[in-house]
Structure 1
Amino acid sequence: MFKNLSLFAMLVASSHAMAESSYFFDEQDGQLDLGHHLAENAYGFLPVPVIITEPAVGFGGGLMGLFLHETEEEKALRKQKALESVDGGAQLIPAAMTLVGAGGTENGTWFALAGHRHSWLNDRIRYTGGAGAAKANLNIYTDLGGILPPNQSIKFDTSTEAFFALQKLQFRVADTPLMLGVKQIWSESSVSSSNQIIDWLLQKALGDKHTTSGLGLVAEFDTRDNMFFPKNGYILSAEYMAFDEAFGSDSHYATLNASAEAYFPIADKWTFAVAGSYDEIYEKDTELSPTAKPYVDMRGVSAFRYQGEQVGTLQAQLMYHIDHRWTVSSFYGYGVTQNESFKDGLESVNAYGVGFRYQIARRYGIHMGIDIAASDEENALYFKVGSGF
């Protein structure tokens, strides 16, 4: 979920293998690369330094570790494909991968998590699961149910401590890119505020502990040429989650999420990409955590800064591939929210920026880099793995 700092940290983290002079350099182009380390080292992993510059929580950092699990036959096939063409190995999807990590920020926010993705029968059956704990100190913005004028809101601080877990099981439909499945989410949290009135309201509505538990349906249609950094194809996904007492939840509501990404090679070294999302929450009671509502999730916009019962985003990105290692990009995004209590207008935000990526593991097509983004109120620096959407 990193050029100079990242590459330095990777070299330090993998110093035990430096005995082989070519260990960190691609045998085809001689460039710095961790593909061999990931594939051939039994304990090899991709260390991803987390440099947090999210305006909502302040500066901070941490470390994630991505482990890719392959059989000897899978490793041999990927190596062969990588030697045959520059991006040959990237076309093969790892059967299993594990992610572990932890981090924190200057305002006291922290997280620790672990997740695993596994597939069987040539990716006909796929399972994803994860669990963790976190504390998030966030400012929440509200229009007081429509009392305030359009595009105006007040904010109050919240501190949320939570344990969470999720799992998703998907099945491929025949030999198509379509996968259907079920998803389960569980969390136990406590929410407080330094504002005594807000804290009293939160305790009255949610109590000392609040359990959220939901079950839902998911669908995904994926034709991308590379799951880590696609240059062609598209992915469409949708999920509907129901949170109810029947599943052990203290809250009673439902959510709908639909999203899409599409990548178009428009010239030899150019790729144009677009992404869109729509989120909606159907409230059946009012005792919800302040972070339950969907929010505009885009580079350059603080998390939970723009929330609503309905949230939509549209983003575009133009990428120029200097060569198979280096890519520079520019991007723009537009987000909008709607609340049922405030029908006279919409709240919207624009965001834009530039960035670059370096392909750090050619066998897998993994790219890492930096995005610099700005919006109507703020700007931020992001260290990213993948396209940035």
Structure 2
Amino acid sequence: MSFFISHKKETKCRSIRRELVHKTVTTPVFSALGTLLLTFSPSPEASMLDELFDPKDGQLDASSYILNNAHGFMPVPFLITEPAVGTGGGVALLFFHETHEQKTLRLDNPDKVSGIPPSVTGVVGGSTSNGSKLAGVFHSGNWKQDKIRYLGGLFGGSFNLKYYADTANIANNFTIEGLYFLQDIDFRLGESNFFLGANYVNMGSNSSFNFSDSMPDIDPIELDSKDASVALKITYDSRDNHFSPRSGVKAGIKASFHDERLGGDFDYHEYSAFVQSYSRIAPKWGLGIRGDIKSVSDQVPFYAKPFLDMRGIPAMRYQGDSTVLAEVELSYDIDDRWAVLGFAGTGKAVDDDISFSDTDWQTSKGAGFRYLIARQLGLRTGIDIAKGPEEWTMYLQFGGSWK
């Protein structure tokens, strides 16, 4: 997108913008993005510096680069900071599909933030410090003016994780590798904010357990399995933005039915409900509240048990037949681009043979910041630092805190 400056002022303005790029993208959170955008120009005839800045406020912004890159896949490096698998990174090749109506609306209203995200096709691959690896392809579709939402993908991976048989501090190392296939679709009910949807999941995996830390005399155990399910769900979504919502509510309930007749080895049911609320309690203050409940029936494979999914707590650290959690996040806008935030949460993972009152609450808390990196998409990015029951963790965030 051009700044529409006159020819005789162009040299001076570019010099100023180069200085701003140097000062901005050398900060840690933008170093990878700055290198990426300066390396891959979507058009050899356009100034890369023009693609880096928003003509509305002159700030670093990736909206034009993302949305005008309609001729091919855009490489996007990313970092992995999940404590369950260690630190690492990878690259996603993303292709954004704007409809003709979306593109016309964006070009005619450059100050407007899109309420309907473009569809995205992606190829992704990454690895972490503990040897975990992931690769896959996916498509996120948004059709008929947000009447239909679709997500599908095929992923292969190998993950080195820890399994806690109970909430004690004794962990068993295991490796799980295999393929994960997902088809998910939602249909809007009339003109309302309600969606009725369904999905199908099929995962084939090989798990290898290493008990050498706790039982040195036991040889590793391997388990081949398949898990397939269909689910029915209803969702309410009034959020103002899909990437980084500032107001509105998203809530839903889902029932998943795992059955051998669907191609798996297990028969069990899984139920879940969630709510995410976003509100502006003052012009510069935002409040987010999240609640989440999950429960499974008997004969569930160990890796499918619900776990506490909160910042500061590694994946699968606290598992149970049922989980319940709540989080709150308070943010403050320094200006139109920058915001700081603090958050706290607590939850329980409970097995059926243990009473709810006998299970300890696990809490986490932390703070972070966000930068509006793509204004026309409403996309914010930043870093969170969180402290759980055992450790400190850093998270690189793209989009909202809660997925």
Of 51, 70, 74, which residue of structure 2 is paired with 1:42? 70
**CA spacing shift, 1:257–1:123, aligned 2, 3 Å:** same
* Deviations 1:259-306 (CA, angstroms, capped at 9, x unpaired): 1110110111110111111111112x36x2x31101001111011000
Separation in 2 of the partners of 1:176 and 1:45?
Answer: 34
Aligned to 2:86: 58
Letter in 2 for 1:226: N
Q: RCO (CA 8 Å, sep 6+): is it higher in 1 or 2?
A: 1
Aligned to 1:136: 159
Of 113, 120, 143, which residue of structure 1 is paired with 2:136? 113
**CA spacing shift, 1:202–1:216, aligned 2, 3 Å:** farther
Q: Within 5 Å, give how 1:288-327 maps onto structure 2.
A: 288=301, 290-327=302-339
Letter in 2 for 1:240: A
Of 236, 261, 279, which residue of structure 2 is paired with 1:246? 261
**1:10 matches 2:36:** yes
User: Shift of the alpha carbon at 1:327?
Assistant: 1.2
**CA spacing shift, 1:46–1:352, aligned 2, 3 Å:** farther
Aligned to 2:114: 90
Q: Is residue 99–residue 118 contact of structure 2 (8 Å, CA) maintained in 1?
A: no
Separation in 2 of the partners of 1:164 and 1:115?
Answer: 11
Q: Is residue 228–residue 366 contact of structure 1 (8 Å, CA) maintained in 2?
A: yes
TM-score of the superposed pair, with normalisation by structure 2: 0.86
**Structure 1 SS opposite 2:175:** strand
**1:74 matches 2:109:** no
Of 366, 379, 383, which residue of structure 1 is paired with 2:379? 366
Separation in 2 of the partners of 1:73 and 1:169?
Answer: 22
Of 339, 347, 351, which residue of structure 2 is paired with 1:339? 351
**Structure 2 SS opposite 1:224:** coil
Separation in 2 of the partners of 1:7 and 1:119?
Answer: 26
Q: Which has the larger radius of gyration?
A: 2
Q: Is residue 34–residue 46 contact of structure 1 (8 Å, CA) maintained in 2?
A: no
Gaps of 5+ in 2: 1-27
Instruction: Point out the more displaced range, 224-233 or 345-354.
Output: 345-354
* Deviations 1:176-224 (CA, angstroms, capped at 9, x unpaired): 0100011100010000022277987954xxx4x2111101101111000
**Structure 1 SS opposite 2:210:** coil
Instruction: Point out the more displaced range, 3-12 or 343-352.
Output: 3-12
User: Shift of the alpha carbon at 1:53?
Assistant: 2.5
Separation in 1 of the partners of 2:72 and 2:379?
Answer: 15
Of 168, 175, 190, which residue of structure 2 is paired with 1:174? 190
RMSD over aligned CA atoms reads: 2.1
Aligned to 2:3: none
Letter in 2 for 1:358: Y
**CA spacing shift, 1:373–1:51, aligned 2, 3 Å:** same
How many residues were matched structurally?
369
Separation in 2 of the partners of 1:326 and 1:302?
Answer: 28
**1:387 matches 2:400:** yes
User: Shift of the alpha carbon at 1:75?
Assistant: 1.2
Instruction: Point out the more displaced range, 244-253 or 95-104.
Output: 95-104
**CA spacing shift, 1:201–1:61, aligned 2, 3 Å:** closer
Separation in 2 of the partners of 1:350 and 1:46?
Answer: 39
Separation in 1 of the partners of 2:244 and 2:390?
Answer: 30
Aligned to 2:19: none
User: Shift of the alpha carbon at 1:100?
Assistant: 2.7
**Structure 1 SS opposite 2:70:** coil
**CA spacing shift, 1:347–1:43, aligned 2, 3 Å:** farther
Q: Is residue 70–residue 96 contact of structure 2 (8 Å, CA) maintained in 1?
A: no
Q: Within 5 Å, give how 1:177-256 maps onto structure 2.
A: 177-195=193-211, 203=222, 207=223, 209-256=224-271
**Structure 1 SS opposite 2:359:** strand
**CA spacing shift, 1:45–1:235, aligned 2, 3 Å:** farther
TM-score of the superposed pair, with normalisation by structure 1: 0.89
Separation in 2 of the partners of 1:45 and 1:355?
Answer: 31
Separation in 2 of the partners of 1:49 and 1:347?
Answer: 39
**Structure 1 SS opposite 2:162:** strand
Letter in 1 for 2:253: A
| Identity rate, percent | 35
Letter in 2 for 1:366: L
Q: Is residue 47–residue 66 contact of structure 1 (8 Å, CA) maintained in 2?
A: yes
